[in-house]
Amino acid sequence: MKKIILRILNYAKPYRHYLILTILCTFIGISLSLLVPVLIGQAVDDAVAAGQVNFDGLKKTAFLLSGLILISGMFQFLENLCINRLAFGTVKDLRTELTAKLETMPISYIDSHARGDLIARVISDIEILSDGLLQGFAQLFTGIVTILGTLIFMLGINLKITLLVVLMTPLSLIVASQITRLSHNAFQQQSKLRGDIGALTEELVGNQKLVKAFAYEERAEARFSEINSALGKAGRKATFFSSMSNPTTRFVNGLIYAAVGTFGALGTIGTISWIGAMSVGKLASFLAYANQYTKPFNEISGVVAELQNAISCAQRVFEILDAESEPDDSQYEILTSCQGNLEFHDVNFSYLPEKPLIQHFNMKAKSGQKIAIVGKTGCGKSTIINLLLRFYEIQSGEILIDGQSSAKFTRDSLRHQFGMVLQETWIFTGTVAENIAYGKPDASPEEIEQAARAAHAHSFIKRLPHGYDTMISDHSGLSQGQKQLLCIARIMLTNPPMLILDEATSSIDLRTEHRIQKAFEKLMQGKTSFIIAHRLSTIQNADWILVMENGHILEQGTHAQLMKQGGFYAELYQSQFAG
Written as tens digits, the pLDDT of the chain (579 aa) is 778 878 888 888 888 888 889 889 888 888 888 888 888 777 777 666 555 656 666 677 778 888 888 898 899 889 888 888 888 888 888 888 998 898 888 888 888 887 778 888 888 888 888 777 666 777 778 888 888 888 888 888 878 777 877 777 777 667 666 666 666 677 777 877 887 887 778 777 767 766 776 677 788 888 888 888 888 888 888 777 767 766 777 777 777 777 777 777 776 666 666 666 667 777 788 888 887 877 777 667 667 767 777 888 888 899 999 998 888 888 999 998 888 899 999 999 988 888 888 888 888 899 889 898 888 777 778 888 889 989 889 999 999 999 999 999 999 999 889 988 877 778 888 999 999 998 888 999 999 999 998 888 898 999 999 999 999 987 777 887 788 888 888 888 988 999 888 876 665 666 666 766 776 777 777 889 898 877 776 788 888 898 888 778 888 888 889 999 888 888 888 877 654
Q: In what order do the strands lie in the sheet with 396-401?
A: 358-365, 342-349, 396-401, 404-405
Beta strands in 229-286 (DSSP E): none
CB atoms within 10 A of CB 166: 14
The closest alpha carbon to 519, from 548, 543, 495, belongs to 495
**Which letter does DSSP use for residue 390 in this model?**
T
Q: How many residues are recorded in the chain?
A: 579
The closest alpha carbon to 86, from 1, 14, 144, 24, belongs to 14
Q: To which H or E segment does residue 156 belong?
A: helix 135-157
Q: In what order do the strands lie in the sheet with 418-421?
A: 418-421, 498-502, 528-532, 370-375, 544-549, 552-557
Which residues sit opposite 398 in a β-bridge? 345
DSSP SS3 for 546:
strand
Vertex 556: Cα angle to 553 and 558 (nearest 5): 155
Q: With beta carbons less than 8 A apart as the criterion, state whether 249 and 176 touch.
A: yes
Q: Domains plus CATH for the chain?
A: 2-194+235-321 (1.20.1560.10), 340-417+536-579 (3.40.50.300)
